[in-house]
Copies of this chain bind each other. A is one copy, B any other.
């Protein structure tokens, strides 16, 4: 990941960004080789040359640092949602488009690799998975409040429908991530968007799909 920071930022802010990024990089590196539970916070802080106290000024938990790149997408998503045109698109399409754009905004050079590392780790570490799901849930609630403020949700169940649409989006994103992570190579943001679209395309048939017993 590039450590390059806008030179307009004051020195103090640049240093903070660098420390943060250093923690993310070394964390994912160490976790990747020794496993999440195989690395104590003390060891991580030692490697990153910060005190444990400082670590917790940047991240809320040990899990947090490994999920930071993935969380960036959702922060961007909220930002897109805040400013995107509220035309007549179906709500779910609007959300999909916003998420696709948010993914597109991610830095092209190191982000994908960090997300990949984070997801692979989450697959092996229940507590990371839990934190990830909880984060998505919180983001969903924030997004709902945002949408409720900006848009007129029609009908008495408008709020519920919007919430369901957001829940659906989260589900689609996770399944898209699954298949994206599973592929052997070509882990680009663009490819992730492609998989998101493909997963979304399955949705209508999910509502009606049938299955027969084995022959």
A215 close to B (CB within 8 Å):
yes
Cβ–Cβ contact B175 & A164, under 8 A: yes
Cβ–Cβ contact A203 & B211, under 8 A: no
Cβ–Cβ contact B202 & A175, under 8 A: no
Nearest residue, chain B, Cβ from A129: B134
- Residues of B contacting A160 in the complex (Cβ-Cβ under 8 angstroms): 175, 179, 199, 202
Nearest CB of B to A7, in Å: 38
- Residues of B contacting A133 in the complex (Cβ-Cβ under 8 angstroms): 130, 133-134, 137
Cβ–Cβ contact A206 & B165, under 8 A: yes
Residues of A within 8 A of B (CB-CB), count: 51
Cβ–Cβ contact A171 & B175, under 8 A: no
In the complex, what distance in Å separates the CA atom of A152 from the CA atom of B212? 6
A184 close to B (CB within 8 Å):
no
- Residues of B contacting A202 in the complex (Cβ-Cβ under 8 angstroms): 157, 160-161, 164
Nearest residue, chain B, Cβ from A130: B134
- Residues of B contacting A167 in the complex (Cβ-Cβ under 8 angstroms): 171, 174-175
In the complex, what distance in Å separates the CA atom of A90 from the CA atom of B137? 28
Cβ–Cβ contact A209 & B88, under 8 A: no
- Residues of B contacting A52 in the complex (Cβ-Cβ under 8 angstroms): none
In the complex, what distance in Å separates the CA atom of A61 from the CA atom of B73? 31
A53 close to B (CB within 8 Å):
no
- Residues of B contacting A168 in the complex (Cβ-Cβ under 8 angstroms): 168, 171, 206
Cβ–Cβ contact B161 & A209, under 8 A: yes
Nearest CB of B to A64, in Å: 12
Nearest residue, chain B, Cβ from A63: B130
Nearest CB of B to A101, in Å: 18
- Residues of B contacting A41 in the complex (Cβ-Cβ under 8 angstroms): none
9 sampled A-B residue pairs with Cβ under 8 A: A91-B211, A92-B206, A129-B137, A150-B214, A154-B209, A160-B179, A161-B202, A164-B172, A164-B199
